């Protein structure tokens, strides 16, 4: 599989190698060792979530505060989605930057979202289904929400919507990124980098033990 960095540091786009034949298609969606070797992030799923959405449903932007923090490996298993990752780590050189990726079930493209980043998506087809592999289990009270139409983020949702967006009241009333930063809810870039470095060292130790 191809694993490429994006404009948001510590977010990666994964493109699997498709193996079609007369019966259909096969591809490897996630390989722990390949992801760790390419990114330095040791990602071991602890929980798997799915959600289905009607066309024009917008979910996000969401993140998980430290502790526990949460990394996600996101793919579309039915239909098509526009996936969005935003760097919301105060102190990051890319703070406020976003990256978009079309996730199509037929292509198997996925996105890895490291701890500290925010994530959201809009459904481009009816009955679109998204899969989240999560590095931590759900802990009530740790999720934070950011207003998806925050003008400072300028996420181009409108380019992909063909009608009024469908949002939950929670997402619609979510605070802006600046408001969350003032409240001290967000995880700082240095704190996140320390976590990533611990993961890198753990991966290297595991590699040495296997030799």
Task: Give the chain's end-to-end CA distance (angstroms, integer).
Answer: 23
Three-class secondary structure of residue 99 per DSSP: strand
CA distance 25 to 152: 41
The verdict on whether 132 is a catalytic residue reads: yes
The verdict on whether 41 is a catalytic residue reads: no
Three-class secondary structure of residue 122 per DSSP: strand
Residues 6 or more apart from 193 whose CB is under 8 A from it? none
> Could you write out the three-class secondary structure of 33-87?
HHHHHHHCCCCCCCEEEEEEECCCEEEEEEEECCCCCCCEEEEEEECEEEEEEEC
User: Which residue among the candidates 12, 41, 62, 119 is catalytic per the annotation?
Assistant: 62
> Could you write out the three-class secondary structure of 164-175?
CCECCHHHHCCC
Give catalytic residues, as residue numbers.
Answer: 62, 132
């Amino acid at each position: 599989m191809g694993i490429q960095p994006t404009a948001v540091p510590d977010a990666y786009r994964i493109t699997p190698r498709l193996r079609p034949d007369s019966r259909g298609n096969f591809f490897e969606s996630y390989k722990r060792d390949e992801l760790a070797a390419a990114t330095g992030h040791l990602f071991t799923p602890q929980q798997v979530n799915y959600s289905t959405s009607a066309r024009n449903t917008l979910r996000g932007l969401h993140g998980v505060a430290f502790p526990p923090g949460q990394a996600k490996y996101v793919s579309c298993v039915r239909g098509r989605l526009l996936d969005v990752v935003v760097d919301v780590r105060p102190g990051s050189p890319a703070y406020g930057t976003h990256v978009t990726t079309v996730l199509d079930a037929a292509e198997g493209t996925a996105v890895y979202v490291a701890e500290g980043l925010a994530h959201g998506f809009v459904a481009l087809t009816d009955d679109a289904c998204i899969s989240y592999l999560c590095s931590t289990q759900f802990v009530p009270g740790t999720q934070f929400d950011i207003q998806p139409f925050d003008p400072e983020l300028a996420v181009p949702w409108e380019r992909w919507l063909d009608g009024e967006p469908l949002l939950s009241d929670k997402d619609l009333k979510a605070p802006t990124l600046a408001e969350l930063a003032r409240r001290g809810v967000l995880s700082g870039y240095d704190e996140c980098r320390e976590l990533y470095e611990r993961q890198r060292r753990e991966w290297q130790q595991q590699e040495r033990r296997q030799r």
